[in-house]
Amino acid sequence: MHRLVPSSRLFSRSITSLPRKIKHNNCTYDHLCVRCLSNQSNQQGNHHEWSSRHSAYATVAATSIVSLYLLVKSLKRDEDRWSCYRSAYCQKKHVVPGAIPEAKASTLSKDNNKTTESEQTDKESSDTELPLYKYLIVGAGTSSVSAYRAIKARDPKAKILIIGEEPDVPYERPPLSKELWYVDPAVAKEYKIGKSKRDSIFYEPRPFYLSPKALQEAENGGVGLISGKKVVKLDGQKKKVWLNDGTEILYEKCLLATGGRPKNHPVMETADKDVQDRTILFRNTSDFTRLHEAVEKSKSVAIIGGGFLGSELACALGFKGLKTYQIIQEKGNLGTVLPEYLSKHTTEKVQESGVDVLTSLTVTEAQYNNNQVELTLSDGRKISVDKVVVCVGLEPNVDLAKTSNLELDEKHGGFRVNAELEAMSGLWVAGDVSCFYDIKLGRRRIEHHNHAWVSGKLAGENMTGASKMYRYQSIFWSDLEPYVSFQAIGIIDSNLETYSVFEKPPEKKRQRKKKTKESNLEIAKKTTEESLGTNQEVSKDTGSEEEKPKEEFNKGVIFYLRGGSIVGILLWNITGKIYRARQVISDGCRDEDLYEVAKLFFAPRKRRTED
């Protein structure tokens, strides 16, 4: 752009030529100056003509000189300003020896940087001293990991800085309520699910991550990590973040992956300190450690909450031999996710695992009593336990919205973003805290591990220019050891209409029979009245020998329906069929016989060349 300013040499040449011209016009002609004109009385006619023309030239020349001079002067000023601007621009990109205590880095560098210039420019404005990173990730969880991997794959020399509030390096969360409870305690203490080095829940050991300084100096890029710091403010227009220690950092592209913090129960929140000391809001590695250690010293525990986390922990603690209570608001475990009959079945299975599941109850009081916590339930019952674990949901970490003018979603919580996970230009949001638009299933916020991975990856790809929408659906799963295990994809909401097909266990000669009123299940008879025209089989209705009051839900598939399409699929004790589930969700199967669609999930594993 500096070429727009013509070089001063050109100007000087033109300037010097002008006086010569003017001189030529004025006085090279004999006596043709004003003085001369007045003396040219005898050559009046011609002289007049000459003189008038000449005076015209003179005035023109004079004005030209003056204006030219002024023009040149202003241009010189502009040029100075321009070079100022240029240096300021440079300074923005190429930082000057450092203002930041945290990042002692003295130079910022872009991929195509000019670091030599930066050291010569002076500090003009405070922003120019700040470190700038091309890629910044706020939050050091699962989404951050898949994001940096995606960025690095597409931008091989990328420099990515991650800022995390937790003291740990990024780790995988599901094992905290699953595998870690079923392995050797000595191994679990180190957050490993096995003896091998690769069995650590941490995605990478700390040496993988560079310090901010090392990151800036890394010629071929890398991933840097700042642990134990929180981003308290973000300006999406200035592309700047502020940390809780006062550090300011500039970015080009930023990903918010701040996750969530566990909600507290209103009663536990306001309880006495002695009660609170014995209460764990389960989420992080430190919470796991606390509970894991407590297991050795405690005899009884109460878990408040009947969702995934609560149920998994209940089974785990039951497995460990503690007297475990689970207090659930709904009618059964996973009541918000599974259709009622299945939720009831799950509850029975959890009880078989050794947990005293108390359904349709809430905690109304919590008192400290003789080194234990005494909980009063809504039906008046009191139970005393050594420890209380609260698993009543997740509060998305949207603190940044208050200071940063970011849009929140009232219905789902979290930061509102579009189908490409973008909140505004240069800012993406992924993971638990992202309320995004799913073009197939509508606006959603998903709090599962695989979603964190998939959305982080998508955000990373979009940060490097992919412009992809969220189309590849994430899955989730749960294992309530040892009886219940399922995988799911799409929208799994117990409020939706469902259609399920279960395979009867082969060994038992179980015959179908009409259900008793209690269990409220009916065997579907072959009808043609169903709106979707589904075939519903009736088993051989010979007289049943063994009258068992409950059905065995051994293995099956559940379709969640909305508006006639399949929007969610849950695979109950079926493995290896996720790809097929994706295909079905992609299609929607509006006009299909659901019975036939269900068959796809029971077919034995084999390759087919046509579909």
Partner 1 sequence: KDGKDRIVFVTKDEMSTPSEAMIAMDEEEVHDGPVGFVQPNGELNFGCPCVGGLHAGPCGYEMREFISCNFYNSKDKDDPRGHECDDKMYAMMQCIDKHEEYYKHKMSSDPEDEDDDPFAISDDQGEEEVSTSHIDVSSSIVTQNPTPDSTSS
Site residues (CB under 8 A) for partner 1, limited to 404-443? 440
Give the whole-angstrom CA distance, residue 264 versus residue 393.
8
Q: How far is CA 164 from CA 111, 224, 434, in A?
A: 25, 11, 17
If the CB atoms of residues 207 and 543 are measured against partner 1, the closer one turns out to be 207
Q: Among residue numbers 282 through 341, which ones bind partner 1 (CB under 8 A)?
A: 339-341
CB of 67 to partner 1, least distance (A): 57
Give the whole-angstrom CA distance, residue 492 versus residue 319.
28
CB of 81 to partner 1, least distance (A): 40
Residue in the structure block whose two tokens are 């599962």: 448
Element (H, E) at 259: none
**For 102, phi and psi rounded to 5 degrees?**
-70, -60
Q: Does 371 sit near partner 1 (CB under 8 A)?
A: no
Q: Is the peptide bond before 185 cis (omega within 30 degrees of 0)?
A: no
Give the whole-angstrom CA distance, residue 174 versus residue 504.
30
If the CB atoms of residues 52 and 583 are measured against partner 1, the closer one turns out to be 583
Helix (H, G, I), strand (E, B) or coil at 559: strand
Stretch that binds partner 1, among 20-28, 56-64, 169-177, 400-408 (CB under 8 A): 169-177
CB of 515 to partner 1, least distance (A): 9
Helix (H, G, I), strand (E, B) or coil at 325: strand
Give the whole-angstrom CA distance, residue 47 versus residue 31.
10
Widest pairwise Cα distance in the chain: 147
Binder to partner 1 among 499, 567, 568, 569 (CB under 8 A)? 499
Q: Among residue numbers 102 through 121, which ones bind partner 1 (CB under 8 A)?
A: none
If the CB atoms of residues 126 and 542 are measured against partner 1, the closer one turns out to be 542
CB of 582 to partner 1, least distance (A): 5
Q: Which of 107, 127, 132 is nearest to 117 (CA)?
A: 107
If the CB atoms of residues 306 and 556 are measured against partner 1, the closer one turns out to be 556
**Complete DSSP assignment for 106-122:** -----TT--HHHHTTS-
CB of 272 to partner 1, least distance (A): 40
Q: Convert residues 524-543 into a mask of x (bound to partner 1 by CB under 8 A) and - (unbound).
A: x---------x-xx-x----
Stretch that binds partner 1, among 55-63, 122-130, 148-156, 427-435 (CB under 8 A): 148-156
If the CB atoms of residues 293 and 596 are measured against partner 1, the closer one turns out to be 596
Q: Contact at 8 Å (CB) between 423 and 436?
A: no
If the CB atoms of residues 339 and 413 are measured against partner 1, the closer one turns out to be 339
Helix (H, G, I), strand (E, B) or coil at 466: coil
For the record, the structure tokens of 163 come out as 């800022």
CB of 413 to partner 1, least distance (A): 25
Binder to partner 1 among 175, 259, 310, 335 (CB under 8 A)? 175
If the CB atoms of residues 388 and 558 are measured against partner 1, the closer one turns out to be 558
Q: Among residue numbers 178 through 217, which ones bind partner 1 (CB under 8 A)?
A: 178-179, 193-199, 201, 203-205, 207-208, 210
Strand 159-164 and strand 132-138: pairing?
parallel
Q: Contact at 8 Å (CB) between 548 and 519?
A: no
Stretch that binds partner 1, among 60-68, 143-151, 405-413, 416-424 (CB under 8 A): 143-151
Q: Contact at 8 Å (CB) between 158 and 134?
A: yes
CB of 540 to partner 1, least distance (A): 9
If the CB atoms of residues 388 and 475 are measured against partner 1, the closer one turns out to be 475
Binder to partner 1 among 35, 77, 157, 189 (CB under 8 A)? 157
Q: Among residue numbers 563 through 592, which ones bind partner 1 (CB under 8 A)?
A: 575-580, 582-587, 589, 592
**Side-chain-side CA neighbours of residue 85 (13 Å):** 8
Strand 484-490 and strand 475-480: pairing?
antiparallel
**For 341, phi and psi rounded to 5 degrees?**
-65, -35
Q: Contact at 8 Å (CB) between 163 and 140?
A: yes
Q: Among residue numbers 330 through 369, which ones bind partner 1 (CB under 8 A)?
A: 339-341
If the CB atoms of residues 29 and 472 are measured against partner 1, the closer one turns out to be 472
Q: How far is CA 392 from CA 22, 41, 327, in A?
A: 91, 111, 10
Binder to partner 1 among 86, 323, 412, 504 (CB under 8 A)? 504
CB of 465 to partner 1, least distance (A): 14
Burial class (CB in 10 A: 0-12, 13-18, 19+), 3: exposed
For the record, the structure tokens of 454 come out as 């998939």
By CB under 8 A, how many residues form the interface with partner 1? 102
Stretch that binds partner 1, among 9-17, 51-59, 218-226, 390-398 (CB under 8 A): 218-226
Helix (H, G, I), strand (E, B) or coil at 543: coil
CB of 265 to partner 1, least distance (A): 29
If the CB atoms of residues 412 and 504 are measured against partner 1, the closer one turns out to be 504
If the CB atoms of residues 81 and 590 are measured against partner 1, the closer one turns out to be 590
Q: Which of 166, 154, 169, 165 is nearest to 253 (CA)?
A: 154
Q: Does 608 sit near partner 1 (CB under 8 A)?
A: yes
Binder to partner 1 among 110, 149, 233, 263 (CB under 8 A)? 149
CB of 98 to partner 1, least distance (A): 22
If the CB atoms of residues 254 and 268 are measured against partner 1, the closer one turns out to be 254
Stretch that binds partner 1, among 66-74, 103-111, 370-378, 466-474 (CB under 8 A): 466-474
If the CB atoms of residues 166 and 248 are measured against partner 1, the closer one turns out to be 166
Q: Among residue numbers 220 through 249, which ones bind partner 1 (CB under 8 A)?
A: 220-223
Q: Among residue numbers 29 through 88, which ones bind partner 1 (CB under 8 A)?
A: none
Give the whole-angstrom CA distance, residue 187 versus residue 193.
7
Binder to partner 1 among 141, 156, 240, 493 (CB under 8 A)? 156
Beta bridge partners of 568: 490, 560
Q: Say which residues have a Cβ less than 8 Å from residue 9's Cβ, sequence separation at least 6.
A: none
Binder to partner 1 among 129, 166, 172, 481 (CB under 8 A)? 172
Length of the chain: 611
If the CB atoms of residues 369 and 586 are measured against partner 1, the closer one turns out to be 586
CB of 581 to partner 1, least distance (A): 10
| Terminal Cα-to-Cα distance of the chain (whole angstroms) | 58
Binder to partner 1 among 432, 436, 487, 568 (CB under 8 A)? 487
Stretch that binds partner 1, among 87-95, 171-179, 242-250, 399-407 (CB under 8 A): 171-179
CB neighbours of residue 561 within 10 Å: 19
Enumerate the H helices of 369-469 as residue ranges. Answer: 400-404, 449-463
